[in-house]
Amino acid sequence: MKRTRLGQSDLEISRILYGSMGRRTSSEADRIRSIHAAIDAGTTSIDTAPLYDFGEVEKVLGKAIRDRRERVEILSKVGLRWDGNHGDTLFEFEDESGTRRAVRRDSRPVAIRKDVEESLGRLGTDRIDLCQIHHPDPRVPIEESLGELGRLAEEGKILHLGVSNFSGRELDAAVARAPSSHPVASDQLHYSLLSRGAERDIVPLSRRHGFGLLAYTPLEAGALTDSMLTPDRLDSVTRERSTHFRPKNAAAIRSVLSEKVAPIAARHAASVTQVCLAWLLHQEHVDGVIVGASSVEQVIAHAAASDLALEPGEVESIGQAFTSVDIDPMAGQDWRTRADHFVTRARRRLGRILRRR
Ligand SMILES: NC(=O)c1ccc[n+]([C@@H]2O[C@H](COP(=O)([O-])OP(=O)(O)OC[C@H]3O[C@@H](n4cnc5c(N)ncnc54)[C@H](OP(=O)(O)O)[C@@H]3O)[C@@H](O)[C@H]2O)c1
């Protein structure tokens, strides 16, 4: 497994990181087995968050690393809570009793401290290697949130601080206002062959400011894997909900995977999944790729992608081929849903324009 320093910090991470978010389909024992397989394969950096399964994922991770804490780097998050009334709603969910509840952005210093202390308890550790603000919180000045993270770092409870899902403007502000003793080490963002918006604004900023980039959802939850070439295996609810798996979009993705990626994979005796991960690792601005896995076999295959050396021409041609994939976010939806989508999008755009003035 190749390793690298995260941005300009002295935190060393594995280039493939284990994404612990997962789905509730596997047992605790299976999850622990996957985490141990990842660590044994060199995937020592593990990304998690209090939000994942509302604390349960951190608890399982804590059990898994109990006897191997010194071998791993823990990346967790702060700033999203599901048990209070403060802050803007990010999304709503139905709890086990059928009650509708909200996940809210809350990056006030008091909430951040609570998040970190609760995470340390669940993880059974005395430090978090990288603590990331999960989503920007427009109600709280960024210097207040970063200031509290700086204080937690002074106390040794976190070692480095980062952000996630920040826009270019929010990143500029975070970099400028972070405590000088603890600069922003990284931004975690959605980045894959099918999601490349970051190349326009976030990538140039990471070069200018020197923070690292951690790409999440690199396989688009399975749309950029070998399974896409055998569609009868694609049967989960999550996938039914994702637009990438709707027939029109899936056909466009499948065509590029089979015509462009599969021949390159065959040349390297690798899988399509591994080539899609390696493509991201070959982007010079990407420090690490956070991948989710539902089996030990997947974990081992993901780790091996870090050693896959693609030719510059292959990287270029894969990237180019995906620019022709035109994903219709509303594929398969009725006209009313499509209309709602376009109105909401237009409203958001107008809001952004008005805020800039
Ligand atoms: N900061 C944030 O806001 C944020 C948001 C999202 C995710 N993340 C992080 O990023 C991590 C990864 O994201 P993700 O889980 O959304 O997406 P992902 O890594 O793109 O997809 C993971 C899923 O792809 C499928 N898969 C993986 N390898 C495969 C293979 N070889 N063949 C077939 N299918 C395969 C598995 O689903 P099956 O169960 O179907 O096999 C797996 O659960 C998360 O765990 C989390 O740590 C962060």
CA of 222 to the centre of ligand 1 (A): 7
Q: What is the dihedral of CA 238, 244, 249, 253, to 10 degrees?
A: -120
pLDDT of residue 302: 97
Residue 317 in contact with ligand 1 by CB distance below 6 A: no
Query: Is there an atom of ligand 1 within 6 Å of 273 CB?
Result: yes
Torsion region of 48: left, alpha or beta (phi above 0 gives left; psi -120 to 50 gives alpha): beta
Give the pLDDT score at 231: 61
Please list the active-site residues.
52
What does the radius of gyration of the chain's CA atoms come to, in whole angstroms? 20
Note the pLDDT of residue 51.
Answer: 93
Residue 312's Cα: distance from chain center in Å?
26
Contact 162, 217 (CB under 8 A): no
- Closest approach atom of ligand 1 to CA 219: 20
Ligand 1 close to Cβ of residue 188 (< 6 A): yes
- Alpha helix stretches (DSSP H) within the chain: 28-40, 56-65, 109-123, 142-154, 168-177, 198-209, 237-241, 247-256, 262-267, 272-281, 296-304, 312-323, 335-356
Could you tell me the two tokens for 96? 């086990």
- Rounded-to-integer distance, Cα 123 and Cα 29, Å: 16
H-helix or E-strand spanning residue 159: strand 158-164
CA neighbor of 206 nearest in space, from 219, 191, 217, 221: 191
pLDDT on residue 98 = 84
The alpha carbon of residue 314 and the mean position of all alpha carbons in its chain are separated, in whole angstroms, by 25
Nearest-5° Cα angle at 108, 56 to 345: 80
Q: Output the tens digit of pLDDT for each of the chain's 357 residues.
A: 999 999 999 999 999 999 999 766 688 999 999 999 999 999 999 999 999 989 999 999 999 999 999 999 999 999 999 988 899 999 998 877 888 889 999 999 999 999 999 999 999 999 999 999 999 999 999 999 999 999 999 999 999 999 999 999 999 999 999 999 999 999 999 999 999 999 999 999 999 999 999 999 999 988 999 988 886 655 555 556 678 888 888 888 999 999 999 999 999 999 999 999 999 999 988 999 999 998 999 999 999 999 999 999 999 999 999 998 887 776 666 667 667 767 777 777 777 777 666
Residue nearest to atom 31 of ligand 1 (CA): 298
- Alpha helices, H only, 3-55: 28-40
Single-letter amino acid code for the residue at 145? S
- pLDDT value, residue 272: 97
How far apart (Å, rounded) are the C-alpha atoms in residues 338 and 276?
30
Residue 9's contacts (CB-CB under 8 Å, 6 or more residues apart) are: 160, 183, 185, 186, 212
Structure tokens at 318: 């894969």
Measuring CA to CA, which residue among 219, 289, 198 is closest to residue 16? 289
Q: Which of 14, 52, 219 to mutate to test the pocket of ligand 1 (most atoms within 8 A of CB)?
A: 219
Q: Is 186 in the pocket of ligand 1 (CB under 6 A)?
A: no
76 lines ligand 1 (CB under 6 A): no
pTM over 0.85: yes
